[in-house]
Amino acid sequence: MPGTVRVDPVALDAAAADLDAAAARLQANLTAVSLPIQPIPSGSEEVSLLANRFFRNSAGTFSPAAAQAVEELIETAAALRAQAAAYRNVDFEHGKALGS
């Protein structure tokens, strides 16, 4: 039927579980390698020192960005679960109304 959207709450729950699993894997990997990323310059000339400063700045932004990614995966999974529950409730209420 054109213009109709079909939503499967089970698929939403499965997607939420996949997102939670991805968040858990990412968090486990981040925890396993929790040592700070601190490269040492390959030389003492200006290019090596500038490259090292760039890598240190980039490394300093990695951990916060990765932690934010974990949080966003968890929040997205929670939103999918809430949507699945809402669809189930609407279906239940419509079923009750049709049965009356």
CA distance 63 to 20: 19
- Which pLDDT does position 56 carry in this prediction? 85
- Which pLDDT does position 39 carry in this prediction? 75
Taken in order of first residue, the domains within the chain and their CATH numbers are 9-99 (1.10.287)
pLDDT tens-place string over residues 17-60: 999 999 999 999 988 876 667 778 888 899 989 998 888 888 77
Q: Where are the alpha helices (DSSP H) in 7-99?
A: 9-32, 46-99
pTM of the entire structure? 0.74
CA distance 41 to 23: 33
- Which pLDDT does position 99 carry in this prediction? 80
- Which pLDDT does position 42 carry in this prediction? 83
pLDDT tens-place string over residues 80-96: 999 999 999 998 898 88
- Which pLDDT does position 36 carry in this prediction? 67
The answer to whether the beta carbons of residues 57 and 37 sit under 8 Å apart is: no
> Which one-letter amino acid corresponds to residue 60?
G
Q: Which residue has the tokens 């400063």?
A: 53
Which residue from 90, 72, 99, 100 is spatially nearest to 5, judged by alpha carbons? 90
